[in-house]
Structure 1
């Protein structure tokens, strides 16, 4: 059974966005392995506390990610 793990910063995605992540990743896996695996395809979203996730030596928060998504630096 496929297990897809996704790590995100807490407060970066709301409930609807996380549901979309689960649906879209499941659909992507089904396209590869076939419809019969849909019922046993797992998607696990883990949320990491802001400041406990670093990129390039800089700790990131949800606000930093939201600023990047808008095209601005935090």
Structure 2
């Protein structure tokens, strides 16, 4: 039974983005493991509260991520 556990900063993705992420991660897993496992493939998104996520010794904020994403 495949399980993908994703962690992200709370407030960064809205409900529709999370739904799309779950669909695409599921599809990626099944492209390797086989379509027959769809009914038992789990994707869990854990939201980490702002202020409890850090990279390189710095706290990461939703605004920081949005600015970073817009640069691409």
Q: Per the shorter chain, which TM-score range?
A: over 0.9
TM-score calculated relative to the size of structure 1:
0.93
Distance in 2, Cα, partners of 1:27 & 1:50: 29
TM-score calculated relative to the size of structure 2:
0.95
Query: C-alpha offsets along residues 6-41 of structure 1, whole Å, 9 cap, x if unaligned?
Result: 000001100000000100000001100101101100
Alignment gaps of 5+ in structure 1:
none
Distance in 2, Cα, partners of 1:42 & 1:50: 25
Q: 1 or 2 for the larger relative contact order (CA 8 Å, sep ≥6)? A: 2
Alignment gaps of 5+ in structure 2:
none
Runs of at least 4 residues off by over 2 Å: none
Instruction: Give the secondary structure class of the aligned counterpart of 1:29.
Output: helix
- Measured on the aligned residues, the alpha-carbon RMSD in Å equals 0.6
Query: C-alpha offsets along residues 30-59 of structure 1, whole Å, 9 cap, x if unaligned?
Result: 100101101100000000011110011110
Instruction: Give the secondary structure class of the aligned counterpart of 1:12.
Output: coil
Count residues in correspondence. 71
